[in-house]
Amino acid sequence: MKKPNAAWIMLVSVALGLGLLAGCQGGVTPIKTLLDDPGRFDKQVVRISGTVGHSIGVLGYGAYRIDDGTGSLVVLTKERGAPREGARVGVEGEFRAAYTLGTESAAALMEKQRFTP
């Protein structure tokens, strides 16, 4: 059996390192991508991040809109309430496509966890 040479080992090491580094960035999906093809992401867990727009929270329940510069999406939460307007947050949750009518798509993200982007 032939031993791998040093160049091959270095190439594989760099590729693995870059893959791990990319994974550490959290795999945030642009909101525009979600809204451009909502059926593709329906009922899938995704991560988004951006600035909180309108928000409302009562007794732990909440709803808020996140804008990432490519689009905005409503986030619904059952446990943590809503962050304040203007806050920068990241959210992981289940994407739910509501409808697409012409150029408009409505959707929401059911929050599972919140993180600092």
CATH number of 44's domain: 2.40.50.140
Question: How high is the pLDDT of residue 10?
Answer: 52
Mean pLDDT calculated for residue range 9-29: 53
Q: How many domains does the chain have?
A: 1
Which neighbouring-strand residues pair with 12? none
> Distance between CA 90 and CA 115 in Å, rounded?
5
What digits encode the pLDDT tens for the residues 21-74? 344 446 999 999 999 999 999 999 999 999 999 999 999 899 999 999 999 999
The reply to whether 108 falls in a domain is yes
The reply to whether 9 falls in a domain is no
- DSSP annotation of 100: E
Question: How high is the pLDDT of residue 27?
Answer: 92
The whole domain housing 87 covers: 27-115
Question: How high is the pLDDT of residue 51?
Answer: 98
The reply to whether 4 falls in a domain is no
Closest to 90 in 3D by CA, of 21, 28, 42: 28
